[in-house]
């Protein structure tokens, strides 16, 4: 069974990430992750539209 992750664990992970990468690098990584998710969602939408036109 997987252990549940609570707020204290999340805070520890975020603090460690901040110490390892620094605030500037974390903002860049978060921005790139957001753009990647947005591009993935756009790809899914375009696939749905293409399948609707074929049907």
Please tell me the total count of domains within the chain.
Answer: 1
Per the structure, the complete domain to which residue 42 belongs is given by: 23-50
In a domain, 5, yes or no: no
Provide CB contacts within 8 A for 18, sequence distance 6+: 26
In a domain, 12, yes or no: no
In a domain, 18, yes or no: no
* pLDDT tier at 5, thresholds 50, 70, 90: confident
pTM: 0.55
Distance from C-alpha of 27 to C-alpha of 34, rounded to nearest angstrom: 10
In a domain, 30, yes or no: yes
In a domain, 43, yes or no: yes
Q: What is the pLDDT of residue 9?
A: 94
Provide CB contacts within 8 A for 29, sequence distance 6+: 21
In a domain, 11, yes or no: no
Q: Is the pLDDT of residue 34 over 70?
A: yes
When the pLDDT of each residue in the chain is averaged and rounded to a whole number, the result is 86
């Amino acid at each position: 069974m997987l252990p549940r992750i609570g707020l204290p664990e999340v805070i520890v992970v975020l603090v460690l990430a901040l110490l390892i990468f620094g605030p500037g690098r974390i903002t860049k990584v978060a921005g790139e992750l957001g753009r990647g998710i947005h591009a993935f969602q756009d790809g899914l939408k375009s696939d749905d539209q293409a399948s609707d036109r074929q049907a």
